[in-house]
Amino acid sequence: MEFKTCITIFNEAIDGYHVTDHVDHPISNPHPEGSISNLLYKKCWIDTVQWHLEDIIRDPEINDVEGIKIKRRIDKSNQDRTDLVEQIDDWFNQELSNVVPKADARLNTESIAWVLDRISILSLKLFHMKEQVDRTDASESHANKCLAKYNILLEQEQDMDRSYNELIKDIQAGDRVVKVYRQMKMYNDESLNPILYKNKK
């Protein structure tokens, strides 16, 4: 899966969300179930919805009940995001299962899917920073500051393009190896979070 293909799918999900721009609008994933394209679209959709939930919860006028409701929704979204990253890693592990790492292969600190997680968020930053650049109700100073940030994000995207493609090529050549460690999150597990398992008694 090439970097440019991933970016295309992420932008497709971001644009798809912004047709209605509503956190409760159901996903309409155009990619075949079980495909890596489907997983990447779903991943970025989750990120996009959560981006807007993070905006909503920062409303100074939000009431406590609604705030708690949104916070719990964000917590669930984080768990869904982690679960999906692990599914994407499973796909890459299967695709690269025939690769035999060299004895001196370098160990990468993060998995391919967590790299893609960062790229998905970067795509969202680019989209929303461009919105700020194009705002007609903001000052020229605001637009110029946002344009400077937007250009930095574009540079970061170029760097991610290079580093992601190098990572994939190195893994395929056996020069680099990636170990996938499950996140083992504890706070959502009723058997590991003391608040949850004490309340079950």
pLDDT given for residue 122 in this prediction: 98
Q: What is the mean pLDDT of residues 50-77?
A: 96
pLDDT given for residue 200 in this prediction: 73
Distance linking the first and last C-alpha atoms of the chain: 48
Amino acid code (one letter) for 56: I
**Per-residue model confidence as pLDDT tens digits over 163-179:** 999 999 999 999 999 98
**Per-residue model confidence as pLDDT tens digits over 131-153:** 999 999 999 999 999 999 999 99
Which residues does 3 contact at the CB level (< 8 Å), separation at least 6? 119, 160, 161, 164, 165
pLDDT given for residue 201 in this prediction: 61
3-state helix, strand, coil in the chain (%, to 5): 65, 5, 30
Please say whether the beta carbons of 3 and 120 come within 8 A: no
Please say whether the beta carbons of 142 and 132 come within 8 A: yes
Q: How far is CA 72 from the centre of its chain?
A: 19
pLDDT given for residue 83 in this prediction: 93
pLDDT given for residue 92 in this prediction: 96
**pLDDT > 70? residue 39:** yes
For the chain, what's the residue count?
201
Amino acid code (one letter) for 29: N
Which residues does 30 contact at the CB level (< 8 Å), separation at least 6? 12, 41
Please say whether the beta carbons of 78 and 70 come within 8 A: no
**Per-residue model confidence as pLDDT tens digits over 94-120:** 999 999 999 999 999 899 999 999 999
Across all residues in the chain, what is the average pLDDT?
94
pTM for this entry: 0.92
